[in-house]
Chain A
Amino acid sequence: MRPEHPPEFPLAVHDLTVAYHRKPVLWDVDLNIPEGSLSGIVGPNGAGKSTLLKACLDLIPTTSGEALIYGKPYPKQRDLIAYVPQRESVDWDFPVTALDVVTMGTYRKLGWFKRISSAQKKRAQEALDQVGIGHLAQRQISHLSGGQQQRVFLARALVQDAQIYFMDEPFAAVDAATEQAIIQLLKDLNAQGKTVLCVHHDLATVSRYFDHLVLLNMRVVASGPTSETFTRENLQKTYGGKLNLLEDVAQVLKNIGRS
């Protein structure tokens, strides 16, 4: 019998449950992301999309289940993954330049105590050029527009030279030109055989951007090729009011924790 989550999948999630303060935000998530896919994770607010990424990256504790990267737990596969967090997750008033932030993507390879040299800076500059803002390398990050800040984060992921890219809402609140530049970049990465997994919120662009789709609302509603998964019925299941019961039970569990 074939295993349920064979190791050829860049990301295989098995029975993953995550709770914040005992309130479950993800229930028994089970999915496989195919290699070389450009995958989108779509669902309503509070569906646990970012939580799923963070749980796969060991950033938050899980209640049960596991996420495997090519068949192995994440701590053994760190070099394979580049993570682009939500733009609001950091303080953009921090006293560093765009180039400094991108250089941070090289720290892991550089190792403890080593000083940053011109080799790392050169690599970072190339990544900034690649995302089209090479001329802003020396600009302090608070003086960048939202779209430019997002590109800085992308460049930081690019210098890691990973196989799998985890992106948390890269298109949130960016200008149209940046959106085009980002999707082009993702498609280029995809063409090189890399796997891209994107939390996304705009249903209108789903079928144009992604070839594989995960519909999520606390659990996986549907997962598969976009052409088959992106249906009216599945969307209704994801966004419709049929999950009220699940939400109610979650609230009960939370209250038990309180009393």
Chain B
Amino acid sequence: MDLELLRETLLLEQHNTRLVVISVALLGATAGLIGSFLLLRKQSLLGDALSHATLPGIGIAFALMSAMGLSGKNLPGLLTGATITGLLGVLLVLAIRRTTRLKDDAAMGIVLSVFFGLGVAILNMVQTIPGQSSAGLDSFIYGSTASIVWSDFHLITGTLLITTAATFLLLKELTLLCFDSHFASTQGWPTLWLDIILMALVTAVTVIGLQAVGLILIIAFLITPPTAARFWTNQLGHMLWIATLIGAVSGWIGASLSALYSDLPAGAIIVITAAIIFLISMIFGKTRGVLPRYLRHLKLQRKIGRQHLLRSTYEILENTQNHQNHSPLKNLPIPMEQLRRHRYWAKGELSKLIRQARTEDHIEQQPSGELRLSESGFGEASRITRNHRLWELYLIKHADIAPSHVDRDADMVEHLLGAEIVQQLEAQLALTKPDIQSPHQI
């Protein structure tokens, strides 16, 4: 692999690949933006039916232009044909949906396969047209960046810029349509027309992307960036930017690679690049990624373990010092075995908790092996025990849970109590004193 060539391609220093890389990156950006709305409108499959339905149009346009004595491979001509049958496909889906009892997925499956089959057949037939070479038409199926030339560049970038501008103008309207179309309709927004505009924007991106990505994989280019973006944010505005960026980066890297290895189908490389970004987002995505969610879970588990350890220690101190007689509780060392029996901890588990508590400076181990709360640990333990009991009392008083059952119930919730809720508990129970007795035998 020629790393120098790859670097030059990526940095747009290679004159003959520069145009291709720029236009596919722009295509990716626009696809990510429009794709976000397609995804939120839950119409991804309709986009797939649309792209497959473009194939017969390409074949027919080729045949017609050849018959008229023009070059069969005039790009605007081919794309016009693609647009017409693509839209026909969408209309047919809508018609099937309205007039029969078939479900959406069936309607789309039928249109998708019938139009694609028809397209393949037509492409085979036009190969026999004398005097015209149909070679290269199949690049519309799998995508080929090599076929993009200077004269196509204006058409591609122009269409993409218009599409993006239209989306920006209609951000608010499209958002409303995707979130609650019934409400939009009662507010007088023409939801049918908004849906048609959305499909028109999707059509524009699909048709203009056919050449580079191919009709089979263009839907992945529309859907993968927004699904990946969703892992990073809960806000639509951010999601749109991130999807646009992911689309652009996948287009940029994918087109660069495919320009270097022209025997590989460009669509596949671009989509695989997008899929890798998707995978990274799924794992590391800040808001919904698997790893951050697991880490948050782990953090809560550690917090629960620490709170159990501190509360147990505090309860043992109370029990051994007969705390009822109002003398202040003394922070005395406790044998490890006594602590272990208090909550039936496994040995390894308890040692792990103690190691954690020591790094947090909550507990100290004496040379004799006995454990003693540190000063901060003692305060923390007293606070945690108090919260636990507040919650127990609340459950007994307001949820009618028997005192003997309340310990387990409180165990699940007490770790989540914030300062505000604790204040409310105190107010509801009319309890503000620092020491609260346990409502049950410990």
Interface residues, chain A, CB within 8 Å of chain B?
A: 21, 54, 57-59, 75, 78, 81, 83, 85, 89-91, 94-97, 100-101, 104, 107-108, 110, 112-116, 140, 142, 156
Contact = CB atoms under 8 A, between A and B. Distances in A.
A94 B178 contact: yes
Contacts of A59: 182, 185-186
11 contacts: A91-B179, A95-B233, A95-B234, A95-B236, A96-B179, A100-B236, A104-B176, A108-B188, A110-B172, A113-B170, A156-B183
Contacts of A140: 234-235
Of all A-B residue pairs in the complex, the 3 with the closest CB atoms, nearest first, are A140-B234, A108-B187, A83-B186
A116 B182 CA distance: 21
Contact of A95 (B42, B169, B186, B230): B230
A96 B185 contact: no
A115 B237 CA distance: 13
Most chain A beta-carbon contacts within 10 A, residue among B176, B182, B189:
B182
Nearest to A21: B101
Contacts of A100: 236
Contacts of A91: 42, 179
B361 interface: no
Contacts of B233: 95
Contacts of B157: none
A242 to B, nearest CB: 31
B175 interface: yes
Nearest to A89: B182
B172 A95 contact: no
Given A75-B188, A113-B169, A95 B235 contact: yes
B8 interface: no
Measured as residues with beta carbon below 8 angstroms from the partner, the interface class of chain B is: 20 to 34
Contacts of B176: 104, 107
B235 A107 contact: no
Interface string B318-361: 00000000000000000000000000000000000000000000
B160 to A, nearest CB: 20
A99 B346 CA distance: 49
A114 B169 CA distance: 8
Interface string B223-240: 000000010011110010
A40 to B, nearest CB: 21
Contact of A78 (B182, B188, B239): B188
B4 interface: no
Contacts of B45: none
B234 A83 contact: no
Given A59-B182, A95-B40, A107-B176, 15 more contacts: A85-B183, A89-B180, A89-B182, A90-B180, A94-B179, A94-B236, A95-B236, A101-B179, A107-B173, A107-B189, A108-B187, A108-B189, A112-B173, A142-B234, A156-B183
Most chain A beta-carbon contacts within 10 A, residue among B170, B176, B186, B188:
B186
A192 B182 CA distance: 27
A140 B179 CA distance: 13
A226 to B, nearest CB: 27
Contact of A107 (B187, B230, B236): B187
A113 B171 CA distance: 8
Most chain A beta-carbon contacts within 10 A, residue among B101, B180, B182, B183:
B183
A12 B172 CA distance: 33
Nearest to B168: A113
A90 to B, nearest CB: 5
A85 B188 contact: no
Contacts of B235: 95-97, 140
A58 B188 CA distance: 10
A94 B239 CA distance: 11
A119 to B, nearest CB: 14
A165 B185 CA distance: 16
A85 to B, nearest CB: 6
Given A89-B180, A90-B180, A95 B188 contact: no
A104 B183 contact: yes
Contacts of A57: 185-186
A151 to B, nearest CB: 16
Contacts of B42: 91
A78 B187 CA distance: 7
A95 B176 CA distance: 12
A110 B101 CA distance: 39
B234 A104 contact: no
A59 B175 CA distance: 19
Contact of A90 (B101, B179, B187): B179
A121 to B, nearest CB: 13
Contacts of A83: 182-183, 186
Contact of B172 (A21, A97, A116): A116
B186 A81 contact: yes
Contacts of A110: 172
A96 B175 contact: yes
A107 B180 contact: no
Nearest to A140: B234
B182 A85 contact: yes
B183 A96 contact: no
A21 B179 CA distance: 26
Given A95-B235, A95-B239, A115 B186 contact: no
B391 to A, nearest CB: 19
A58 B40 CA distance: 24
Contacts of B180: 85, 89-90, 104
A83 B180 CA distance: 12
A176 B152 CA distance: 63
Interface in B186-224: 186-189
Contacts of A75: 188
A107 B186 contact: no
Most chain A beta-carbon contacts within 10 A, residue among B40, B176, B179, B185:
B179
A100 B234 CA distance: 12
Nearest to B235: A95
Contacts of B234: 95, 97, 140, 142
B428 to A, nearest CB: 14
A101 B234 CA distance: 13
Nearest to A86: B182
Most chain B beta-carbon contacts within 10 A, residue among A58, A97, A104:
A104
A115 B170 CA distance: 10
A145 to B, nearest CB: 15
